[in-house]
Structure 1
């Protein structure tokens, strides 16, 4: 399969390299010029696993303006706030038969992708795979080989032959895909997890395991889940887990799967990059307001996260 990965950040690199190692023809289209230049100068991407065995993996990388091939599949893996700019820069190589897949954190990019691709060619979903970008062109795969899972869903909720081919390639790449026919339910499951783990771990400068070890974590998790469920149900979301099951997933992922992991929002914060809080907790607040509901806990977390971003920028300016 001919695949173009738009964005060579942590998750874009992991998806692309795993799919390349599984035998696919993969190109990286990188809008971030610093990352593009690092990968070109290195002759590839430095890959580690759990901070060990760093090695160089040769890859093809292009700026959007340089890329003129037509992929079977384009995987969008930039930050949510960069989706509009990335799709505008890359739409020239999206052919009439090209599918676009996104497993980004938060919700919002599908509405942007729809401007360039018909609904039947959009595959969305979520990634339960921990990955860290140590520096441009240097990535650390967290967890044992084959660890982590992906969940995919067609926006139309009608899987076709190409979607099943994508699932097959993901399986060959050790990404443990599950294909669903509940598009919004799939996305909202990860949205709720991120609204708890990403935001709180970032604000408090703690790992996922340290969060769930806190005596009040279960109550805090439940309050955030309850607000999210109320907003989602009002918006017509068919949740795939009960509130109790969602809380258990958050606990399991944090205590057993990635207890030492700092989520991606934390990585953005420490590297002075804008976070995606507006597309995670902020999205829940937006949907709640749409239905005249309150999501006060999520609203407070959005404000606190932005305050933390501003404080870090202020401190960086003084140093």
Structure 2
């Protein structure tokens, strides 16, 4: 099976490497030309689970050079999806299956609008990655399930493709599983991202510092409760106590982590706030559910990212 990874930064490169190790045909597609050229000529240097190896992968910075794929995995940031897909139409045949492994809420809605007649998969990655240098990545993979996949449209084609991809990830050395209820997993991860990304970006602190401050923990609790309430109105049942316990345990293991949105703010980049706290606030407004904590986090991040040139 040929996989095209549209958006091959740290996570896209790692996903591509694992699928290639699992015996699949993979091409990485990303405009970061230095990264693509380094991999093309020297292979991808992958550090994962205390092992260092080089994985040979096809790459291209120009999507027109990639040719069509059986499955296109979307790993660009949510606000780049439309432009990235429109610029890579050559990847998609009539029978190509689309898969989003993007962070946040609402990505599947964009893809359903763009591909109303294509099978669509969606998944969650419970792992992190770092692009340490052009052509080199480090994957942080825990002991549990690293990737959860499911079908958005519940068609036979997308469900079979998701199950096949799970098998390919296992063959490549990463634990993955298929779920009938992928939205529950999408929203569960969105809780974590909503709690740590926006607040840490605004406050300019790491996750441990946020959770150790009583007002920081109160904000986390409020954000979580709002997400649980909004999700319930959408028919997605989340366990507030379990989510809080998981986050506290995660912070104990890796609390020094500076979330990606905090890094975006540090380097004055556009953030994915509209796909996290902003999306939760928007869903809340549609459903008549008050979401003041998420709304204000979203507002503050938007003000910051739209005022970089005025900051001191």
The alignment's TM-score, normalised by the length of structure 2, stands at: 0.87
Residues 112-152 of structure 1 show CA distances to partners (whole Å, capped at 9, x for unaligned) of: 222443566211121111112345544332356x6761121
Corresponding residue to 2:243 among 236, 246, 250: 246
Residues 174-223 of structure 1 show CA distances to partners (whole Å, capped at 9, x for unaligned) of: 33212211132221111111100122222233333333333444432221
State the match for 1:267 in structure 2: 263
Structure 1 gaps of 5+ residues are none
The structural deviation recorded for 1:92 is: 2.6
How well do the aligned residues superpose, as a CA RMSD in angstroms? 2.7
- Cα separation, 2, equivalents of 1:47 and 1:140: 6
Residues 47-83 of structure 1 show CA distances to partners (whole Å, capped at 9, x for unaligned) of: 4459x98776443211344335222211100000000
Q: Answer yes or no: is 1:281 the counterpart of 2:277.
A: yes
- Cα separation, 2, equivalents of 1:136 and 1:286: 37
State the match for 2:6 in structure 1: 6
State the match for 2:173 in structure 1: 174
Corresponding residue to 2:87 among 86, 89, 101: 89
- Cα separation, 2, equivalents of 1:77 and 1:313: 29
Contact 1:5/1:75 (8 A) holds in 2: yes
Q: Answer yes or no: is 1:193 the counterpart of 2:189.
A: no
Q: Secondary structure at the match of 2:256?
A: coil
Q: Secondary structure at the match of 1:226?
A: helix
Q: Secondary structure at the match of 1:142?
A: strand
Contact 1:18/1:173 (8 A) holds in 2: yes
State the match for 1:141 in structure 2: 139
- Cα separation, 1, equivalents of 2:177 and 2:52: 30
Corresponding residue to 2:68 among 70, 94, 110: 70
Q: Secondary structure at the match of 1:74?
A: strand
Contact 1:91/1:116 (8 A) holds in 2: no
Structure 2 gaps of 5+ residues are none
- Cα separation, 1, equivalents of 2:268 and 2:144: 29
Aligned residues: 308
- Cα separation, 2, equivalents of 1:104 and 1:36: 22
The alignment's TM-score, normalised by the length of structure 1, stands at: 0.85
Contact 1:99/1:117 (8 A) holds in 2: no
